[in-house]
């Protein structure tokens, strides 16, 4: 029976390995839906403390902890707090819950004071260098043009989320680092060597449970968008489907340089998310012990790829869709690991069909840009 191997270490104390004391852990990364902000990841580690294991591991506020899956980092966290459960009268049962937060949370706790931001295409890298804990955000390629700032004064996580709202890309955790892929390069993160499906094989990661959510207004179905670039006039676009279903509108604050860029953003949102009423988002749960092998699942936690999802609706026919992994929740136990994957259709980004009137790259009225 295959099973993922996990290692937990305090990276600030000579890489102290406290895996043997851990009873269970849970961590989250990313987001659940395409329009959500990135609010930061958390991890909760329950460990024995009957003989002072927490002190032995030097776990204290803002100590850096790495979780490794099959020897590769999947979560970088910093201690946010420790809850000691001392069980008076029976010290052998004493435990502690270690709370970790990731770099997103720390970025949200660091406030800029009249900070100069000048890079219009690699501003995430510029921000990373300003953080107290640099080296945890990286921008893979240049984004669309992003407005700079002569006097930015807010938290850095909010600024990064505004960049995402402006460029419409997404973050993919890899080796514990948060990599930003701009909208124009989303396809480069596609993985074709394996897929998600119902039956496990060497090329299929099998899911235990499968949830699909159709047409949630303002979340997975949006046919009208009002976009306000900083210091510029609001730009609006409404998809033709609003004449049938009425408006399902959102408002977005961006850092687009021009009103034309803001209008393109509004067109992109309303056209990519508002053409089909049956657009789906997905949540699947995967267990390591039900797989043929764990290498592909381990790689998904280590690097985060976009996979093809295959499923058959009740009473329906076999269906497949290219998806983007928005986020994960990982639960580790002594005997198994469970993973929830939150998936969006890649059509929400820029998975085009060349000659299609909806997503065809030759149809400028649908494309936006």
Say whether pLDDT at 283 is over 70.
yes
Q: Which of 88-102, 197-211, 250-264 has the lowest mean pLDDT?
A: 88-102
Strand order in the sheet with 137-139: 137-139, 177-181, 170-174
Residue pair 312/198 in contact (Cβ under 8 Å)? The answer is yes
**Nearest in space to 209 (alpha carbons), one of 225, 198, 223:** 198
Residue pair 46/22 in contact (Cβ under 8 Å)? The answer is yes
Q: Tell me how many helices (H) and strands (E) the chain has.
A: 8, 22
20 burial type by CB count under 10 A (0-12 exposed, 13-18 middle, 19+ buried): exposed
Average pLDDT, the chain: 90
pLDDT tens, position by position, 104-124 = 999 999 999 999 999 999 999
Model confidence band, residue 346 (pLDDT cutoffs 50, 70, 90): confident
Model confidence band, residue 362 (pLDDT cutoffs 50, 70, 90): low
pLDDT at residue 369, rounded to an integer: 46
Model confidence band, residue 220 (pLDDT cutoffs 50, 70, 90): confident
Say whether pLDDT at 356 is over 50.
no
pLDDT at residue 351, rounded to an integer: 47
For residues 79 and 245, the model is more confident at 79
pLDDT at residue 87, rounded to an integer: 81
């Amino acid at each position: 029976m295959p099973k993922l191997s996990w290692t937990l270490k305090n990276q600030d104390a000579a890489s102290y390995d406290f895996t043997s004391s851990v009873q269970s852990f849970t961590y989250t990364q990313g987001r659940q839906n395409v329009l959500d902000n990135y609010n930061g990841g958390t991890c909760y580690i329950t460990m024995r403390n009957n003989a002072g294991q927490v002190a032995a591991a030097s776990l204290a506020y803002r100590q850096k902890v790495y979780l490794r899956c099959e020897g590769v980092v999947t979560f970088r966290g910093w201690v946010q707090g420790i809850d000691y459960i001392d069980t008076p009268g029976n010290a052998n049962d004493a435990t502690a819950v270690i709370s970790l937060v990731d770099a997103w949370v720390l970025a949200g706790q660091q406030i800029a004071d009249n900070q100069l931001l000048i890079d219009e295409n690699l501003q995430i890298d510029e921000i990373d260098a300003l953080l107290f804990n640099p080296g945890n955000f990286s921008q893979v390629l240049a984004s669309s043009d992003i407005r700079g700032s002569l006097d930015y004064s807010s938290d850095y996580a909010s600024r990064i989320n505004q960049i995402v709202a402006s460029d419409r890309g997404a973050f993919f955790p890899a080796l514990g680092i948060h990599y930003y892929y701009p909208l124009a390069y989303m396809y480069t993160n596609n993985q074709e060597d394996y897929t998600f499906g119902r039956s496990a094989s060497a090329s299929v990661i099998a899911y235990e449970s499968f949830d699909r959510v159709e047409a949630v207004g303002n979340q997975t179905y949006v046919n009208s968008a009002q976009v306000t670039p900083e210091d510029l006039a609001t730009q609006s676009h409404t998809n033709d489907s609003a004449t049938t279903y009425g408006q399902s509108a959102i408002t977005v604050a961006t850092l687009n340089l021009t009103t034309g860029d803001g209008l393109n953003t509004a067109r992109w949102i309303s056209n990519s998310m508002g053409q089909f009423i049956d657009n789906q988002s997905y949540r699947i749960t995967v267990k390591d012990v039900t797989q043929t092998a764990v290498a592909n699942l381990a790689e998904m936690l280590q690097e985060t790829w976009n996979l093809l999802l295959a499923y058959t609706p009740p009473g329906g026919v076999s269906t497949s869709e290219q998806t983007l992994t928005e986020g994960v929740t990982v639960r580790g136990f002594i005997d198994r690991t469970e993973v929830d994957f939150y998936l969006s259709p890649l059509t929400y980004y820029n998975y085009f069909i060349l000659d299609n009137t909806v997503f065809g790259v030759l149809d400028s009225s649908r494309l936006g840009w």
